[in-house]
Amino acid sequence: MNPPQNLKFTTMFLRTAFLLALLLGLGDMFGLWPATRLLVDAHIIAGLLFLGSVWALATKVNKTAPGAAGPLWAALFVILVGAVIALFMKISGNLLGILHLVLMLLAMGMAEMGIARAKRRAASA
């Protein structure tokens, strides 16, 4: 089986979950809609799906192109830190909220780096 094809679904799933979490989070941050329990829970679920898909991708890439998985493992760690901050501290409307957003953006950048590396490895193999 062609490795990049293997990663395509998880990659698209990861990007969709991230976008959903980002939109719901930004709407909350800029007060575009009231932060109801339902919307916050939807944001948390999208965020957890983002975490799960980075984890799945890191595991897959680790098998097909081990050297390329580093940024994905790093992204997973950064998401975990960002999630713990959000779940156990009051982050709404303060600096911790911005830190949470920055950590998630950083994690997405690292995940994209890992995806690009895995594709390059597969193309040159």
DSSP single-letter state for residue 45? H
Residue 53 interacts with ligand HEM (CB under 6 A)? Answer: no
DSSP 3-state of 93? coil
The one among 12, 87, 89, 116 contacting ligand HEM by CB under 6 A? 87
| Contact indicator for 115, 68 with CB cutoff of 8 Å | no
Task: Quote the least distance from Cβ 114 to ligand HEM, whole Å.
Answer: 16
Size of the site for ligand HEM (CB under 6 A): 27
Which CB, 89 or 116, lies closer to ligand HEM? 89
**Cα gap 3→6, rounded to integer Å:** 5
**Cα gap 102→66, rounded to integer Å:** 27
Residue 92 interacts with ligand HEM (CB under 6 A)? Answer: yes
Distance separating the N- and C-terminal Cα atoms of the chain: 13
Sites of contact with ligand HEM (CB under 6 A)? 18, 21-22, 25-26, 28-29, 35, 40, 43-44, 47-48, 50-51, 79, 83, 86-87, 91-93, 97, 100-101, 104-105
